[in-house]
Structure 1
Amino acid sequence: MVNRRGHHHLPLSRQRKSSFFPITLYVILIFSLSIFTFLLYSRDVLEEDNKVPLLRVEKPKISKLLDDQLWQTPSSLGLRQCVKRTSRYRAKPVSDHYMTVKSNGGLNQMRTGIADMVAVARIMNATLVIPQLDKSSFWQDSSTFSNIFDETHFIKSLEKDVRIVKELPKELESLPRARKHFTSWGSLGYYEEMTTLWKEYQIIHVAKSDSRLANNDLPLDIQRLRCRALYHALRFSPSIESLGKKLVERLRSRAQRYIALHLRYEKDMLSFTGCTYGLTDAESEELRTMREKTSHWKVKNINPTEQRDAGLCPLTPKEVGIFLKALGYPPSTLIYIAAGEIYGGDSHLSELTSRFPNIVSKEMLATTEELKEFSNHASQTAALDYIISIESDIFVPSHSGNMARAVEGHRRFLGHRKTITPDRKNLVQLFDQMEAGQLEESFLSLPVMQLHRQRFGGPRRRGSGPPGIKGRVRLRLEESFYQNPYPECICKS
């Protein structure tokens, strides 16, 4: 007999339980694998059909974040406008010496010139007569001071600084006048010396008002007076202010945010600068002829290629479109054209509208009846553009002219509202590489954004001119006080 004492039989129920466990585990494993495969396949199908990730809920958040960055205002770093008079400021006695002024140039050239003349009248202790406006400029505008500005407000708001009268007293009209063409960028000392003219004359007539006062090295109270004159006292007339406000509201009704583009692609600017890139031979010749016949434009022979390479030409409508697209603005962006008649009309403007079709002008926003009283008055319609540009979410100038500088400075004064200043010299190089086939437009965003990281209108002190240059040439190259009134009119207290 065989001995079976060491061998035990398991109960039948235990044997069944042992064999059932691996089967259950196998079934669970197969089921889990099936679920995983189904989810993976479903994700692939969704991505293929909808071209979006499975977690689509995150896309709007990312898009909104990128959109906010495009429109975000630079940090003001706690800075704010400050134009209060210092404790040293004293009211001057009423003067029986009078200063009459002929303001030259376009709207913004006249505005900054008038602000300068307010300060000069204060320095020389003169009574300022409401300035006469230029009626012989390119625009041939017959507007008077009261047509463009709120004359009563101008006089009242500056009464603690300078005595201002609407006209010269009748009994003085026949008196001889000292007719002066004050030096450009005159210093405090220069105008204090000019007070010797009062020994012989009771009236001084100033032939030109633009750039008569230095940008820097003036007393704080004189600098702040310039800001009070320009930003507070020189308010536009009620009719201009009213329509300007309406047009801003109409823009806001079309889109939550908008860009004001000062497209300085106008006949006078192209002729003056000699910039003919992208124009036909006939258009180039027309501009050359205009420059030749304009006597007060001293430079006649201009090399257009050298001008463009040096960054001295306005960006063309096509270049502006490429630039804004490279910065990331979508085609649906609402753009207001703040400018006069674009040279060449739709033939050139279409190169911008093909990229950004949502473009409007004051003629598209206002009714014919609303614009009727401003017709043939370029300075008044320019005032509408100024208001809309100041109130815009972003301001982009295609050239650094008088309006571009004035709007940039005003936006800085109002809290460093976003202003994108194109680096035209370096942009032209990138555009030329594109034309030559050396750079694809799709790869333009990175270099363009790198070039403009510090060109969004954030706080910075006013530039004092290129290093190594002295004398009057340096004064001419200094950054305009009205382009950046920091630090005198923008501070932390």
Structure 2
Amino acid sequence: MTVKKQRLVDRLRSRGGRYIALHLRYEKDMLSFTGCTYGLTDAESEELRVLRENTNYWKVKKINSTEQRIGGFCPLTPKEVGVFLQALGFPPSTPIYIAAGEIYGGNTHLAELSSRFPNLVFKESLATSEELKAFTNHASQTAALDYIICVESDVFVPSHAGNMARAVEGHRRFLGHRKTINPDRKGLVEIFDKLETGELKEGAELAHLVQQMHKNRQGAPRRRLGSPAGIKGRARFRTEESFYENPYPECICGSRSKLEIT
């Protein structure tokens, strides 16, 4: 028996209609590669360091986790995602599809998200074990399931930039600029740290700060960003926004009266 991708989307919608697809990049290899250990135990941090040291094709071995986080280079933790979505105004009953591999720390870390949004959905709960059997040991095919469910979602939220997140965002733009909320990770770190120290409380003030910070980060039409001024040669192509992330204007046609440019 094979699983049909649209069938999974239909099953998900039958649980509550509209849903968020959350690309939760909180897997072991991702945290190890980026050197992000905020919120982890000393033992978990050490495990990630050892993995990075022993992975030959990862060139950077010594990483300052604090600097990574302050710079906005770390994926949001499950707890941070929960605070973020709640501040944006999503109700606790919102179905959230988790597009990810195995979450590092399992339920220990996921509990900080599920306590705020208990209606978390995984592919394992949408498809039967028999349907998923064909995907065993085929990571790219499993990712394809996540990709389709993310593209079809009412809201897509990536917790970290990456090839899949960029491709999904670009696909959603091509299909009519479907709502994609890109967290300002660098800005959010400042807010989360104020929550941690008690300088800021959850509630109306937090919601206002987060919503203002993200009012122009929700997938509205805009031309693809070029490279910074003065950059030439190959560096120009490396620093400009990815075509796959934003295919406008080349692949998105329409009159200016129908498309608001921001």
Does residue 1:300 correspond to 2:61, yes or no? yes
The corresponding residue for 1:364 is: 125
Alignment partners' CA distance in 2, 1:445 and 1:279: 26
The corresponding residue for 1:457 is: 219
Read off the aligned partner of 1:423 and give its amino acid letter.
D
Query: Secondary structure of the equivalent of 2:171?
Result: helix
Residue by residue, what CA displacement relative to the aligned partner does 1:282-320 show, whole Å, maximum 9, x if unpaired? Answer: 111111111111111111111000000000000000000
Alignment partners' CA distance in 1, 2:137 and 2:128: 16
The corresponding residue for 2:84 is: 323
Alignment partners' CA distance in 1, 2:190 and 2:143: 32
Residue by residue, what CA displacement relative to the aligned partner does 1:157-186 show, whole Å, maximum 9, x if unpaired? Answer: xxxxxxxxxxxxxxxxxxxxxxxxxxxxxx
Query: Secondary structure of the equivalent of 1:260?
Result: strand
The corresponding residue for 2:259 is: none
Read off the aligned partner of 1:368 and give its amino acid letter.
S
Does residue 1:378 correspond to 2:139, yes or no? yes
The CA RMSD over aligned residues, in Å, is 1.3
Read off the aligned partner of 1:339 and give its amino acid letter.
A
The corresponding residue for 1:186 is: none
Read off the aligned partner of 1:487 and give its amino acid letter.
P
Q: CA deviation at 1:465?
A: 2.0
The corresponding residue for 2:158 is: 397
Alignment partners' CA distance in 1, 2:69 and 2:112: 19
Q: CA deviation at 1:275?
A: 0.4
The corresponding residue for 1:472 is: 234
Q: CA deviation at 1:271?
A: 0.8
Read off the aligned partner of 1:364 and give its amino acid letter.
S
User: Equivalent residues in 2 for 1:373-452 (5 A)?
Assistant: 373-442=134-203, 443-452=205-214
Query: Secondary structure of the equivalent of 1:248?
Result: helix
Does residue 1:278 correspond to 2:48, yes or no? no
Q: CA deviation at 1:364?
A: 0.9
Identity %: 74
Alignment partners' CA distance in 2, 1:354 and 1:268: 25
Alignment partners' CA distance in 2, 1:465 and 1:268: 30
Alignment partners' CA distance in 2, 1:488 and 1:380: 29
The corresponding residue for 1:341 is: 102
Larger RCO, structure (CA 8 Å, separation 6 or more): 2
Q: 2:11 aligns with which of 250, 269, 272?
A: 250
Query: Secondary structure of the equivalent of 2:146?
Result: helix
Alignment partners' CA distance in 2, 1:483 and 1:342: 25
Does residue 1:290 correspond to 2:51, yes or no? yes
Tell me, which stretches of 5 or more residues in structure 1 are unaligned?
1-238
Aligned length: 254
Q: CA deviation at 1:474?
A: 3.3
Read off the aligned partner of 1:351 and give its amino acid letter.
E
**Normalising to structure 2: TM-score of the pair?**
0.94
Does residue 1:483 correspond to 2:245, yes or no? yes
- Runs of 4+ aligned structure 1 residues displaced above 4 Å come to none
Read off the aligned partner of 2:218 and give its amino acid letter.
F
Read off the aligned partner of 2:133 and give its amino acid letter.
K
Which structure has the larger Rg? 1
Residue by residue, what CA displacement relative to the aligned partner does 1:124-143 show, whole Å, maximum 9, x if unpaired? Answer: xxxxxxxxxxxxxxxxxxxx
Q: CA deviation at 1:477?
A: 1.7
Q: CA deviation at 1:457?
A: 0.2
The corresponding residue for 1:154 is: none
Query: Secondary structure of the equivalent of 2:157?
Result: strand
Query: Secondary structure of the equivalent of 2:97?
Result: strand
**Normalising to structure 1: TM-score of the pair?**
0.51
Q: CA deviation at 1:337?
A: 0.2
Alignment partners' CA distance in 2, 1:289 and 1:254: 41
Read off the aligned partner of 2:34 and give its amino acid letter.
T
Query: Secondary structure of the equivalent of 2:4?
Result: helix
Alignment partners' CA distance in 1, 2:108 and 2:235: 40
Q: CA deviation at 1:475?
A: 2.3
